[in-house]
Amino acid sequence: MLDHFERLILKLLQRNGRASTQELSDTVGLSPSPCWRRVKRLEEDGFILRYAAILDGKKLGLNAFAYVQISLIDHSEESIDTFQSFIAQNEQVLECASITGDFDFVLKVVARDPEMLEQFIMKEILRLGVVRTTTTNFIMRQLKTAGSLPIEV
């Protein structure tokens, strides 16, 4: 179970992963050494998975974002492994979730433009040989990208 200080540390690190130990300790109300030890423990215990910069895709020339729903041909171990291996290795796939309903997975995918997204779906996803069908919904405007989990303190 996390205590009040650890929850505050996690909340602050979600907002600013580059916060120094001194900044964290000042905000949380601990001296730097205990604060640093708590951060290290949170990392070691898997509460903090990694640190990353959040980039502006449009400034990088990535103008087509979409959700792609995927149905596999079957649910054999080989098909699932093939699909999951592809997902794990592909940088265009920003997110992947196994879902309930008519589809097996939903992906959040990015490309330079709609034509490149079409090529990605046709020449990479469908050519895997394990995908039965896809449905694509273009993201017209991203209203919120939080990336932070709600933490009660």
Q: Are residues 19 and 91 in the same domain?
A: no
Q: Are residues 64 and 100 in the same domain?
A: yes
Whole domain around residue 92: which residue ranges?
58-138
Q: Are residues 66 and 13 in the same domain?
A: no
The residues, any chain, with a CB within 8 Å of residue 140's CB and separated by 6 or more, are: none
Count of Cβ atoms closer than 10 Å to residue 67 Cβ: 14
pLDDT at residue 150, as a whole number: 86
In a domain, 152, yes or no: no
More confident residue, 147 or 69: 69
Dihedral (CA of 99, 89, 139, 55) sign: positive
In a domain, 108, yes or no: yes
Share of the chain above pLDDT 90, in %: 86
Band (pLDDT 50/70/90 cuts) for residue 90 is: very high
Q: Which residues pair with residue 131 across a beta bridge?
A: 72
CB 48 within 8 A of CB 13: yes
Residue 147, pLDDT above cutoff 80:
no
pLDDT at residue 95, as a whole number: 96
pLDDT at residue 15, as a whole number: 92
In a domain, 131, yes or no: yes
pLDDT at residue 54, as a whole number: 86
pLDDT tens across 61-83, in order?
Answer: 999 999 999 999 999 999 999 99
Q: What is the CATH number of the domain that holds 67?
A: 3.30.70.920
Q: What is the CATH number of the domain that holds 12?
A: 1.10.10.10
Total domains present in the chain? 2
pTM of the full structure: 0.85
